């Protein structure tokens, strides 16, 4: 396999020439390239929705900022990933476009924090969590694989070759396998 070091009968190891794709606020990316690590940084009230199909090693991340595009339809038209109601359908459509099967998809959701520590009168983090939860619930996805709420920011990295998700906070680093 191009970009992987492996011997017959052995498990694939890390790519020889890894690439990092950074997903900014209001953007999404999907990939079937085993050498790619998808990353999104500094999730405060924003939400990252990570999807991974372990059989064909297709991963994607959406970094949404707001729950509903009704506040700015023009912005949603140009940057649908900014909003939960337009970005989430686009993420799943993009994953399916890479041949991901929704029945095999493993999800992880992170973010939705109240980084203003109680002074957020708009409760954007809470509303982002609710909008994401409602959308995933309609599709029949479990919301139990999540690190949401609280008052801390989070960073996410997804290694495409093995489905390893790394969640970083100011005080800890956790790893979760989306391949199992």
How do residues 55-82 score in pLDDT, each as one tens digit? 999 999 999 999 999 999 999 999 999 9
Low-confidence ranges of the chain (pLDDT < 70): 1-15, 117-120
Q: Domain for residue 136, yes or no?
A: yes
Q: Domain for residue 163, yes or no?
A: yes
Q: Domain for residue 12, yes or no?
A: no
**Number of domains forming the structure of the chain:** 1
pLDDT at 2: 33
Residues 6 or more apart whose CB falls under 8 angstroms from that of 69 comprise 75, 76, 80, 82, 83, 85, 86
Q: Domain for residue 4, yes or no?
A: no
Instruction: Provide the CATH number for the domain around residue 33.
Output: 3.30.1330.200
- Give the angle subtended at the CA of 12 by the CAs of 7 and 17, to the nearest 5°: 100
Q: Domain for residue 13, yes or no?
A: no
pLDDT at 169: 96
Q: Domain for residue 140, yes or no?
A: yes
Structural domain harbouring 146 = 19-177
Q: Domain for residue 132, yes or no?
A: yes
Residue 176 DSSP SS3: strand
pLDDT at 27: 97
């Amino acid at each position: 396999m191009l970009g992987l070091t492996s011997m017959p009968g052995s498990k694939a190891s890390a790519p020889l020439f890894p690439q990092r794709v950074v997903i900014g606020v209001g953007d999404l990316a999907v990939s079937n390239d085993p050498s790619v690590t998808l990353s999104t940084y500094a999730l405060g009230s924003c939400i990252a929705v990570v999807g991974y199909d372990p059989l064909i090693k297709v991963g994607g991340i959406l970094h949404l900022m707001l729950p509903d595009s009704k506040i700015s339809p023009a912005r949603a038209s140009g940057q649908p990933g900014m909003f939960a109601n337009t970005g989430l359908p686009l993420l799943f459509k993009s994953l399916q476009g890479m041949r991901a099967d929704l029945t095999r998809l493993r999800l992880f959701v992170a973010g939705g924090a109240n980084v203003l520590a109680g002074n957020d009168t708009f409760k954007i983090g809470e509303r982002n969590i609710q909008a994401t939860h409602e959308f995933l619930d309609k599709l029949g996805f479990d919301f139990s694989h999540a690190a949401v709420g609280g008052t801390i920011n989070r960073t996410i990295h997804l290694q495409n070759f093995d489905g390893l998700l790394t969640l970083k906070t100011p005080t800890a680093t956790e790893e979760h396998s989306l391949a199992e």
